[in-house]
């Protein structure tokens, strides 16, 4: 992993030096779900940079194949794109069939729509649970036995800061991700003795299409521009900006590294300090 200075202060401190850290996972095999864009792509790129072979997934074939080509060309690793909906049984089966025996699993899917507490039907909840809780649990159920048998594995679930501090308009997301978090809290302790770690990464606001979509909703609701909505949001983040997919990917790659074998069942917030809590 190359650690690059990301802010003006970093540049001053490190005099624009790049610091290289060997993650010790070159040649491992990773599934990264929902990875053609955004945070999933950030994780795939960081793992590729560490020399990991990838099976990447998302629904839109064209974008996915373009991402696979770019990663392959830049990092010279095998990248297998599997275009499928990870929230469906068939979609997961297609990914697992291409993956063979994965060492690393990054679970991710698109986030549910915003709304008010009384907007949603039972079917809306089932759709959100399928995407943001049950698909990740199913992928773990199928990948963990092989990892445990081989005595090494890493699972990272992309959840949300809403697990620590609920976002009122994201009731579907709050509910589904908290369910996944409870599952991981127990399961991670059951599998840790076999050399397999499971942890969750909790993104605060990051500069992706999802952020643009949420900012657009706020802009429409408040009658302001998208830039104004973004500026309002930045003002709530101590770092004063949105996170980048590269920063997110670097955290994911570290959790998947040889160095992270003692990190078990944790919920790691990447939010620029936005959630105010002591622990």
Tell me the Ramachandran region of residue 6: left when phi exceeds 0, alpha when psi lies from -120 to 50, beta otherwise.
Answer: alpha
- Say if CB 278 and CB 166 are below 8 A apart: no
Piece in contact with ligand NAP (CB under 6 A), picked from 4-12, 31-39, 216-224, 258-266: 31-39
Residue from the set 72, 210, 241, 259 that interacts with ligand NAP by CB under 6 A: 210
Interface residues for ligand NAP in 238-257 (CB under 6 A)?
A: none
DSSP H helices, the chain, are 8-14, 38-49, 61-75, 89-99, 122-129, 135-149, 171-191, 209-222, 226-234, 245-255
| Interatomic CA distance for residues 151 and 143, integer angstroms | 12
- Nearby residues of 244 by Cβ (< 8 Å), 6 or more positions away: 6, 42, 206, 207
Residue from the set 53, 75, 87, 251 that interacts with ligand NAP by CB under 6 A: 87
Give the nearest distance from C-beta 250 to ligand NAP in angstroms.
15
Residue from the set 153, 203, 265, 272 that interacts with ligand NAP by CB under 6 A: 203
Residue from the set 47, 50, 57, 77 that interacts with ligand NAP by CB under 6 A: 57
Of residues 57 and 197, the one with the C-beta less far from ligand NAP: 57
What's the token pair of residue 53? 């072979």
Piece in contact with ligand NAP (CB under 6 A), picked from 55-63, 68-76, 142-150, 184-192: 55-63
Interface residues for ligand NAP in 108-137 (CB under 6 A)?
A: 108-111, 131
19-20/29-32 β-pairing: unpaired
Query: Comparing C-alpha atoms, which of 201, 198, 202 is closest to residue 261?
Result: 198
- Say if CB 143 and CB 191 are below 8 A apart: no
Query: How many amino acids of this chain bind ligand NAP (CB under 6 A)?
Result: 28
Give the nearest distance from C-beta 140 to ligand NAP in angstroms.
16
Of residues 49 and 130, the one with the C-beta less far from ligand NAP: 130
Residues within the interface to ligand NAP (CB under 6 A): 34, 36-40, 57-60, 63, 85-87, 108-111, 131, 158, 160, 203, 205-206, 208-211
């Amino acid at each position: 992993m190359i650690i690059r200075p990301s802010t003006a202060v970093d540049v001053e401190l490190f005099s624009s030096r790049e610091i290289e850290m060997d993650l010790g996972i070159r040649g491992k095999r990773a599934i990264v779900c929902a990875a053609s864009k955004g945070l999933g792509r950030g994780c795939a790129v960081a793992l590729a940079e560490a020399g990991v072979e990838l099976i990447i997934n998302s629904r839109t074939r064209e974008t996915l194949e373009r991402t696979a080509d770019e990663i392959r060309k830049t990092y010279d690793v095998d990248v297998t794109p599997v275009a499928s909906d990870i929230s469906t049984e068939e979609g997961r089966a297609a990914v697992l069939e291409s993956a063979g025996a994965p060492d690393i699993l990054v679970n991710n899917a698109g986030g549910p729509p915003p709304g008010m507490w009384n907007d949603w039907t039972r079917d809306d909840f089932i759709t959100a649970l399928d995407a943001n809780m049950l698909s990740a649990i199913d992928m773990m159920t199928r990948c963990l036995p092989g990892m445990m048998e081989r005595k090494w594995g890493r699972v990272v679930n992309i959840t949300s800061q809403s697990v620590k501090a609920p976002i009122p308009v994201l009731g579907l997301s709050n509910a589904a991700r908290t369910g996944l978090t409870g599952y991981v809290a127990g399961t991670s302790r059951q599998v840790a003795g076999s050399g397999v770690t499971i942890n969750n990464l909790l993104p605060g606001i990051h500069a992706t299409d999802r952020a643009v979509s949420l900012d657009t909703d706020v802009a429409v609701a408040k009658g302001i521009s998208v830039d104004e909505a973004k500026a309002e949001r930045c003002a709530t983040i101590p770092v004063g900006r949105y996170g980048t997919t590269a920063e997110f990917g670097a955290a994911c790659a570290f959790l998947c590294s040889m160095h992270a074998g003692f990190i078990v069942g944790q919920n790691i917030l990447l939010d620029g300090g936005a959630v105010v809590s002591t622990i």
